[in-house]
Structure formats: C-alpha cells, structure tokens
Amino acid sequence: MGLQGTGKAGELRTGCAVPESGIYSVSHPQHHLPGEVTLLKDRFFPRCSRCADPIYYTLERSAPAGTSPFGFEVTLYELPELREDESLRG
C-alpha cells in the first residue's frame, strides 16, 4: 500500500470533514490534548475545548470501510484538555 507522499500535512484540522475512518494523531501544542483519537468518516474533526485555535490531525491508521474495528461508534465534538497535575502527583 503506497500511499505515502500523497497527503500534505496541515490539511486535516478542526472543522474539516474526516476523509476516512481511523485513528488520528492530535497536534495542538497550545493545550495538552489526547495524543490520538478515533474518528469516523464524514464526521468533522473536533475542536479544542479550551480555545478557538484549530487542532491539526494526522491519519495514523485507517479503518477498513464497512467494518467497525473499534466495536463502538465514537462521536467527538471537542477534545478535553488533559490534566497533568493528577498524574504527576503520587
């Protein structure tokens, strides 16, 4: 499967339609968001819950059409900021 080089970084971001179901890595240095999310085709890329800046996404692993490899549907409209404080305490 040689799909490398066909996509350009930065095209996938908040508000754009998800081109294909799969796992997407999240790039949003402004806030500490989940590292990757599962998104479904024809949905829209979620926004940040903390600011209006776009989140950029990169397809990590696409899901075969017509199947539900994740076992459930995930619909996200925004990504919550992760709290580092809690995990650092101990």
DSSP state of 86: H
Nearest approach in angstroms of CB 28 to Zn ion is: 6
Q: Which of residues 21 and 37 has its CB atom nearest to Zn ion in the complex?
A: 37
Q: Does 82 sit near Zn ion (CB under 5 A)?
A: no
Amino acid at 66: G
Q: Does 39 sit near Zn ion (CB under 5 A)?
A: no
Q: Which of residues 16 and 69 has its CB atom nearest to Zn ion in the complex?
A: 16
Alpha-carbon distances of 36 from 2, 22, 29, 52, 57, rounded to whole Å: 23, 10, 13, 19, 9
User: Of the ranges 5-13, 18-26, 44-52, 66-74, which one interacts with Zn ion (CB under 5 A)?
Assistant: 44-52
Report residue 38 as tokens.
């599962």
How far is residue 33 CA from its own chain's centroid? 10
Residues at the site binding Zn ion, with contacts judged by CB under 5 A: 30-31, 48, 50-51
